[in-house]
Structure 1
Amino acid sequence: MSSTDKVFAGSIPRIYDEYLVPLIFAYYAADIAKRVAALSPSAILETAAGTGAVTRAVTAALPAGIRYVATDLNEPMLAVAAQRQGEDPRMSWRQADATALPFDDATFDVVCCQFGVMFFPDRVKGYAEAKRVLRPNGTFVFNVWDRIEENVFADDATRVLGQVFPDDPPRFMARTPHGYHDKAVIKADLEQAGFRDISIETLAAVSRAPTPEYVAFAYCQGTPLRNEIEARDASKLQAATDALAEEIRTRHGPGPVEAKIQALVITARP
């Protein structure tokens, strides 16, 4: 993982929440919320909460009286999440590393994480921490993106930016968000962390946007791809965004546009 892969700062959190959440995250947030609500938990921990897409979906699906703690390593992302959530007496926010959680053992009924474990520097350690803070009959629910070829706009972005920067292609999307999709590896990592009852489901959906420019802006300026572009040549950020928009317009039409997205949804119990 590059040192810039986990940097969600500056204008990235706002663009991520405004553009990328509806583009690719909202559908899977609703899916996580449905799964968590079905467990009827009283205490929930969310790790790598980002700008709160899952937080908003899960809290909307749960009654008063529950306790929900949302954490993320990036304070700027949590700040957006807390602002979007508004006042909610069930909620608390805390900057925290998912691989070293500041909570007591057996504290939560559910730990959930949306598209975050790919960023963990030590996934087994992160899973072990989730297991540690779960109550004996607790459940860990999380998702990861499937291979990049199954996620068309992300694949488009990676290909086009490789053409813009042929000597040093930005590989963030393939390397990190779409770099942890082998079901056997995921299962083995969970088992090493102490989980035994493991289910992995493939879930496809459709990503939709009003224009090709929307998609290009979301990926090039609302993710750490922006860090990679600016590290190579900050003056080319808009040109790279425009190149991706043109590619999407050529491949998918002038807009509205849509393309396949696909993720793996994992449920694990000790």
Structure 2
Amino acid sequence: MFTFESQLNSCLKSTSKSFKLLFATNNQFVLPITNRILVLDSSFNPPHKGHLSLVAKSLTHKLGDESTVHSSVNSRSVLLLLSVKNADKRPQPAKFEDRLQMMYYLAQEITDQMGVSCAIGITNCSLFVDKALTLENYFKKEYTDRLRFTFLLGYDTLVRLLAPKYYEPRSLQDALGSFFKTSDCFVLTRNDGNDSSESQLQYLERMKKGMVAEAPPRWADKIFLAQGDSDTQSLSSSSIRKLIGSGDDSWISKTTPNIAAFISEQHPYKDTCTPA
């Protein structure tokens, strides 16, 4: 197995906001033609087919002022990002080392299936705006300043991202203004029993009309919304952990063979009572 222990420990000990690139499926993660990095920021606890669907759809969706989607495989790279901010608490129910190993298998799957370079990174930042800033600083120093970052989200995460209550006493525009200068979001609808798919797909129209809390209508141009796949838009890491904990083997079909084998052999969820 690929080991990430030394790099992980270095990030855990850092007292400043930081990002580390741990692994890339190709020798050169950022090519001369690369202009956009698709950032899948998740707990990966465990990774599953919903993550694969989100990446696949973001690769074929027109983002911003790009002239065509057909060059996406050559001009976009994928970054799997894990936040280790709460390192003073033992991560449950899977250790960070186990999650990184499963992310390694997911990265290989993305490259094999979709033909794009995929990397794994860790950060000790918890807020999207801080993550975006550390990524911008890192890639500007190590590669180029012409990259744009697209964060891949489920609809439920987008709603939380734009919820003013999480930024009080700062205003939403003050808190997220710098985020939308360098980054944008690709969002898939979710089937979580709350908003219907139709309502979710109308979210940007509501934003353009000034009907989304404190979000400026212009931010709608930085958010790209698409319909999720029917077989994965209700899938979540927590639902898989519940199946594992109950002994229901149907969880196996909801992730990739290598990840399923790792879970079966290494038992990272032997204690599944505490969600992360």
TM-score category (smaller protein): 0.3 to 0.5
